[in-house]
Amino acid sequence: MSSENRKVYAEVANLVRERRPLVHCITNYVTVNDCANAVLAVGGSPVMADDAREIADIVAIASSLVINIGTLNARTVKSMRLAGKAAAKIGKPVILDPVGAGASALRTKTAIALVREIPFAVIRGNSSEIATLLAGSGNTRGVDAADDGSPSKSGEKNALIARELSRKTGAVVVVTGAIDTIADGSRIFKISNGHPMMARITGSGCMLTAVLGAYCGACHTDRAIAAAAAVSIMGIAGERAARAAESVGLGTFRTRLIDELSRIDGDGAKEDMRIETA
């Protein structure tokens, strides 16, 4: 990774602190506080609003919209659809976290319907959620065949499904895992920042999605670059939090993750970024 490239990602992170994007989140009630604090920590400003009657007003003032289906219900799904269409219509980036797609028919159907109706800027999920979204378009076989559980095959599979979903939807697709994969129509990014402790607390994924909202809300030039910067910065915060908390426990890790997110800036993170492009 060239120092030229590092500079590009670092500038995105700095831009977020300069522009303080207002991130509208319609998200689950489990990790909503973590999401709000993560957005604030990276320099954005969160607004949580899910009543259909105020969607238009909030979309109008926000820099981006984050839709997270973690604890979806009929009322909030209606608001998600309204908000997603309204935001996309006026050119605001919309980010989707299809939490649990594949775990229930309701989540699968809702996530697929959202993807059909809304031109997402970014979709972020784990391998299984992204594969489920793709299967909704009738494409599971190749995906399943590519995965024999080994890290390299799993990496290949993630690149395959990310690229495929990106081509079908036009969104930048982020598949998180041991190594995070990002695809847009033409490029693949592999990011090897992060720490296993992140998967042992609730909210790491949701927080990343909220942070993607802040990064895309601040940086409109290249969304895949913005997404790669967000994923790398979140991973670096996780690495640093783990160094402080590994011998203490998961409660301290959660607290230190927000600490590190709030201290990090592009310049301080540059040397730790591990982003490869293909």
Binding site for its own copies (CB under 8 A): 28-34, 36-37, 40-41, 46-51, 53-54, 57-58, 61, 70-75, 100, 103-107, 200-203, 248-252, 254-263
**Of 162, 163, 68, residue with least CA distance to 110:** 68
Q: Considering beta carbons, is residue 100 or 266 the nearer one to its own copies?
A: 100
Q: How far is the CB of 47 from its own copies (least distance, A)?
A: 7
Q: Which is nearer to its own copies, 197 or 225 (CB)?
A: 197
- Which residue number, 164 or 205, has a Cβ lying nearer to its own copies? 205
What residues are paired with 176 via a beta bridge?
Answer: 126
Q: With respect to its own copies, which residue has the nearer C-beta, 74 or 278?
A: 74
User: Rounded to the nearest whole angstrom, what is the least distance from the CB of residue 259 to its own copies in the complex?
Assistant: 3
Q: Is the dihedral of CA 38, 69, 170, 45 positive or negative?
A: negative
Query: Cα torsion for 159, 160, 162, 168, to the nearest 10°?
Result: 150
Nearest approach, Cβ of residue 164 and its own copies (Å): 25
CB 236 within 8 A of CB 269: yes
Beta bridge partners of 65: 24, 94
Minimal distance in Å, beta carbon 70 to its own copies?
A: 7
Least distance in angstroms from the C-beta of 67 to its own copies: 15
Least distance (Å) between residue 41 CB and its own copies: 5
Residues 6+ away with beta carbon under 8 Å from 149: none
DSSP labels, 34-83:
HHHHHHHHTT-EEEE---GGGHHHHHHH-SEEEEE-TT--HHHHHHHHHH
Nearer to its own copies, 169 or 204 (CB): 204
Q: DSSP for 161-189?
A: HHHHHHHHH-SEEEEESSSEEEE-SS-EE
Q: CB nearer to its own copies: give 59 or 161.
A: 59
Contact at 8 Å (CB) between 213 and 64?
yes
Min CB(126)–its own copies separation in Å: 13
- Please say which residue, 51 or 276, places its beta carbon nearer to its own copies: 51
Under 8 Å between Cβ of 26 and 67: yes
Is the Cβ of residue 54 or residue 276 nearer to its own copies in the bound state? 54
Smallest gap from Cβ 8 to its own copies, in A, equals 26
**In angstroms, what is the C-alpha Rg of the chain?**
17
